[in-house]
A and B are shown apart, each in its own frame.
Chain A
Amino acid sequence: MRTPLFFRRKAEKSGTNESQQPREEFEADILPHLDSLYATAFRLTRKAEDAEDLVQDAILRAYRYYDRFEAGTNLRAWLLRILVNLFLNRHRRHALERRVMEGVDSDTIGGGLMSRAAMRSLCNPAEEHYRGLIRAEIQKALDALPEEFRTVLVLADIEELSYREIANILACPLGTVMSRLHRARQAIKGHLVEQAHHWGIIAEEEAAETAAPVALETYRRRRERRRSGS
């Protein structure tokens, strides 16, 4: 196994034209991160075609500025930084959503805590049937988040970057990363509880008491619904 690999590598190298070498080096460096880049791009753009475009643009840009990459630092974080910034620059127009989410109105009610029983049934659903449903709802809830919250959640919970790395990528303070991350997770929990109530996994009273409506608006909407129902 080992020897053929060695000879193959050597053969490739010897056949290399001098001018192609930086490109090949770059390719070898970044290709291991392609899945990571695509997964992030897909979660951010929500569309396969947009995600592919974004990945391609990000990689081309990275290639152009590769001499600025500081060797020995986290290459994946550097690539993600380029990708995320490309994405955010294209989507800044949704500033309104952001304001709603970050504004005073968005204070969570009841601390945004989900009851333990609700949490248990959602995170470890007894019936296999619900697993797929919950998965789909989590994806839906993520897609519904404003860009910058989605970005933070994807970078933290899927790509597992540190707060510091995320703050560097988004060029924002650490505290902003933490609060956005918290709100994003609460929003997903809130959405799940609401769904769980619809499915009848958790009791209505419990849902009403413990759900974590992210915004006052959600709370009002729910109250209206309850009134019209009774």
Chain B
Amino acid sequence: MNCAFLKKHLDPFIDGELDAATQVDFEVHLAQCGSCHEETELERSFRRQLKESLREVQTPAALRERVLESLARSAPSPRRVPTPKALRFSPLPRFGRSRASATRFSPAPAWSVALASVFLVSGSWTWWENEGRVQSALARPWLDDVARIHSRASSPALGKQAMAQGGTTLATSSLPVQPLRFQDGNVRLVGAQMENLQQGKAATFYYDVGGRRLTMVVFRQPPSSTMQQEKKAKSSQEDVAESSPPAYREGDYTYAFTSDMDREALLRLAGSARVEAAVDAGKSAGFKQVSLSR
């Protein structure tokens, strides 16, 4: 890796389009080379400027009505063949892939929100489990850590730190996983950092959702977690379900969410999350240098 190579491929790198191993090689080079680091940061700030400048488009209030009216007038759509549940929500969300092939989860249709309400009212979160999108097989210590990180971050210090950084991404480029994107435009990333937990390292992302806080902790599945333990955790899900944060699992990684919001809102938000450029762990040689846990 040299500077010329990095500069030549700066665009796909910043866009998160390189394969995971190369992306990490770039990050490693950036950590060592001030000049490339500066150049990359400038390019990123240009992108931010570009995005901010072009984002400000206000959808006319009347458009929604207009569209709905024209739909009502139009011929009925050919009836869709009902999709089997398993297809609608793929059993294993294809997480942790580069942006090039990042999967965006389609928002839950109205009926499933209604369905979710049923489960939520009855005080369980098996909805996700039923849809096969989320696994709750988390080891207890990790769960506690997720909750602890979230409550600790509410100290004024983090708020100030986030403010000082202009509420923008804090060096997420140095983390092995990238923050999630949410469909909801109100979700703003305000901070990110690595955490040294007892069980290993974890990447923490702090989001602001219209004044409420959302914390996402990404960590490697505890190494001891074998299939058997997963089964055990599943069967004991009942007693942790109520307090456990919703979490996705993909490969070695667990993405756990905690928030000040009510659970329904959190579930919906988490359901719309999209991985931007996560690192395919383990498979890439360069990854070890920044791996989440040993």
Contacts and interface: CB of A to CB of B under 8 A. Distances in A.
Nearest to B38: A116
A83 interface: no
A198 interface: no
A72 B114 contact: no
B12 A178 contact: yes
A206 to B, nearest CB: 15
12 contacts: A6-B117, A10-B114, A35-B59, A38-B63, A52-B60, A55-B63, A66-B80, A74-B104, A74-B106, A123-B45, A160-B181, A163-B15
A67 B81 CA distance: 7
A162 B83 CA distance: 26
A31 B70 contact: no
Interface in A138-174: 138-139, 142, 154, 156-158, 160, 162-164
A52 B67 CA distance: 9
7 residue pairs, one from A and one from B, having the closest CB atoms: A6-B117, A138-B53, A123-B45, A9-B114, A39-B57, A135-B53, A71-B83
A182 B11 contact: yes
Contacts of B74: 60, 63-64
Interface stretch (B87-95, B157-165, B246-254): B87-95
B167 to A, nearest CB: 15
A160 B45 CA distance: 16
B156 interface: no
A203 interface: no
Interface in A40-98: 42-43, 48, 52, 55-56, 59-60, 63-64, 66-67, 71-77
B223 interface: no
A34 interface: yes
A42 B59 CA distance: 9
Interface string B26-68: 0000000000001100110111111111111101100110111
A157 B51 contact: yes
Interface residues of B, number: 66
Interface of B: 11-12, 15, 17, 38-39, 42-43, 45-57, 59-60, 63-64, 66-68, 70-72, 74-81, 83, 87-90, 99-104, 106-107, 109-111, 113-114, 117-118, 120-121, 181, 183, 185, 262, 264
Interface residues of A, number: 67
Nearest to A137: B53
A71 B121 contact: no
A147 B258 CA distance: 43
B49 A123 contact: yes
A119 B262 contact: no
Contacts of B63: 34, 38, 52, 55-56
Interface of A: 1-3, 5-6, 9-10, 13, 19, 22-29, 31-32, 34-35, 38-39, 42-43, 48, 52, 55-56, 59-60, 63-64, 66-67, 71-77, 116, 119-120, 122-124, 134-135, 138-139, 142, 154, 156-158, 160, 162-164, 178, 181-182, 185, 188-189
B181 A5 contact: no
B88 A72 contact: yes
Contact of A163 (B12, B38, B43): B12
Contacts of A66: 77-78, 80
B183 A34 contact: no
A26 B77 contact: yes
B11 A34 contact: no
A3 B262 CA distance: 13
B121 A3 contact: yes
